[in-house]
Amino acid sequence: MKFEDIEIEEVDFEAMLEESFKKSESRSDLVTGTIVKIDEKDNLVVVDIGGGRDANLSLDEIKDEEGNPTFKVGDEIEVLNQGRGRISYKAAQARAALNEFIDEYDEEQEYIIEGVVTKKNKGGYVVEVDGLEFFMPRTLSYLSSKVDPIGKKVKAVIVKVDKDKGSVVVSRKELIERDKAKTDEIVGALLENKEPVVGTIKKITSYGMFVDVGGMDGLVHYSQISHKGPVNPSKYFQEGDEVNVVALDYDKKKRHLSLSIKDANPDPWADIDSIIGVGDTVTATVSNIEPYGVFVDLGEDLEAFLHVSEISWDKNVKHPKDYLENNQEINVEVIEIDKEGRRLRVSLKNLLPKPMDAFTSEHRVGDVVTGTVTSITDFGAFVRVGAVEGLLHNQEISWDKSKNAKSELKVGDEVEVKIIKIDKDAGKISLSKKALEDSPVKAFAQTHKNGSIVTGTVKDKKDFGVFIALDDNVDALIRTEDLHPLKFDEIEKGQEIKGVISFIDANSDRIRVSVKRLERQEEREAMEQLNLDQDDSMTLGDAFGDKFKK
């Protein structure tokens, strides 16, 4: 029942009631007359009401549904004398019905009526119920004068019947105050006892449920339904279900009763350690699927979160709905219990076989396998080999350093690669495509060795040395200390530098060159050549004797 339109005024009810009786027609106003004329042109019926008096009646009042008169000249007709020569057939019928109701009225019985406010006067309102008109004084109406009540449906109780005057008085105020008293009694008991009571769900909305407790409706907000947190009530209940509730609060001004279902049931978090622990395997039901993960119901009024990364060992899970569906039962492992935050996290993949275990049991470093490119990044490409993925880094794409994953591959390509590293603990696999091809350094090493003199073009300078290009895709490093007699600061890109190979390793694809060693080697080679040209007995002093003499 709405109370926002209630208006209470201090008015003398008895005086108002007497005034209304004076203005209302009495039982004696019903008279029987004789029709003396029917004037269809003026839409009038002239009726002799006795005493030499005639009164006019609208012809419309005696027409049937088809528009034909139901009386003829000479017929007797009962009408209500409204004074000043005005009479009404329909009002007479209503008055006769009201008189019949009054005659049958039992003072020992309570009558509660539901009707529509049809008229308003100084004293109050007329409430029509099935053609009967009852009077409701304004002070008994609880209707605001600020709002037009005409057409409003109201419930009221009959408080007074005057058989002599043919008047029935009803009160809406009486019912409202009864309801208020009943409400206060129910609320008082609920708030005082704080004990769970059984209620019936009357209506479910997006923000909660209205529950009937002992004839009064209260709201269970969606945050007060479960210890899991805010939930959609329509997923758990239906209208008509019985639920245990406790009263939380009552706003007397708004007459709003707040109820709770979760407070009527034990809080599982109060004793969570005895219910569940990290590492436990439990059966859960999928309750809600989101792009970032899945919420699962563990029972005991507990809910856990299954992050998308914990659904499968496959790192390319696009959406959880591709793996799970609502109401599906799954086994999960509890991986985190946050008592303060009242949050549980679980894992599905922890109970599934690890693809890395199966992979390492079948493959070793050095194996050549075929895989499919699943994604390409700035640093390389991920290649699926069976149920796992390995990284094919840009530097392992080709011996040609100008090539990378983006220029050479696309998603969906099948590639043959060599396994160059397996980190089982980290779940990482490193792959190489260039390892299946002969290294340019290996080919270079077939024609060059330590001590070979080479010439290269400066490609890059670092703090620790200079890189030079010796051949296509064959680079070498000259360390800073091996540059003598050249000066590091004076070296520029594109400059040609001559040196001697000091280290070459085709397996690691590394070559080092030394300018410093080149000078010593050239001296040694010159000396060897000189020795070949001189007699075996010639000494160094003989060879350079003239110079020494000078």
Same domain for 36 and 129? yes
pLDDT over threshold 80, residue 497: yes
Same domain for 318 and 398? no
Which of 403, 436, 469 finishes a domain? 436
Inside any domain, residue 443: no
Q: What angle do CA 504, 506, 509 make, to 5 degrees?
A: 90
Inside any domain, residue 528: no
Identify any residues that bridge with 229 across adjacent strands, giving them in sequence order: none
Please state the domain count of the chain: 5
Neighbours of 465 (CB within 10 A): 19
For residues 296-318, average pLDDT: 89
For residues 330-335, average pLDDT: 95
Inside any domain, residue 420: yes
Same domain for 516 and 370? no
pLDDT band for position 546 (50/70/90)?
A: low
What does pTM read for this prediction? Answer: 0.48
Inside any domain, residue 447: no
- Domain of 229: which CATH number? 2.40.50.140
Same domain for 19 and 163? yes
Inside any domain, residue 424: yes
Closest by alpha carbon to 280, among 369, 197, 351, 176?
Answer: 351
Same domain for 409 and 456? no
User: pLDDT tens-digit profile of 170-193?
Assistant: 999 988 888 888 777 777 777 777
Inside any domain, residue 544: no
Which of 379, 402, 436 finishes a domain? 436
Same domain for 31 and 81? yes
Same domain for 419 and 380? yes
Neighbours of 139 (CB within 10 A): 19
Same domain for 37 and 160? yes
Which of 172, 202, 229 finishes a domain? 172
Lowest mean pLDDT among 294-298, 342-346, 441-445: 441-445
Same domain for 28 and 70? yes
Name every residue whose Cβ is closer than 8 Å to that of residue 100 and which is 6 or more positions away in sequence. none
Inside any domain, residue 63: yes
* Per-residue model confidence (pLDDT) at position 432: 93
Same domain for 156 and 244? no
pLDDT band for position 14 (50/70/90)?
A: very low
Same domain for 334 and 378? no
Domain range for residue 466?
452-523
Inside any domain, residue 48: yes
Cα(338)–Cα(334) distance, integer angstroms: 11
Neighbours of 244 (CB within 10 A): 14
Same domain for 319 and 290? yes
Quote the radius of gyration of the chain (alpha carbons, Å): 52
Identify which of 26-35, 74-83, 329-338 has the greatest average pLDDT: 329-338
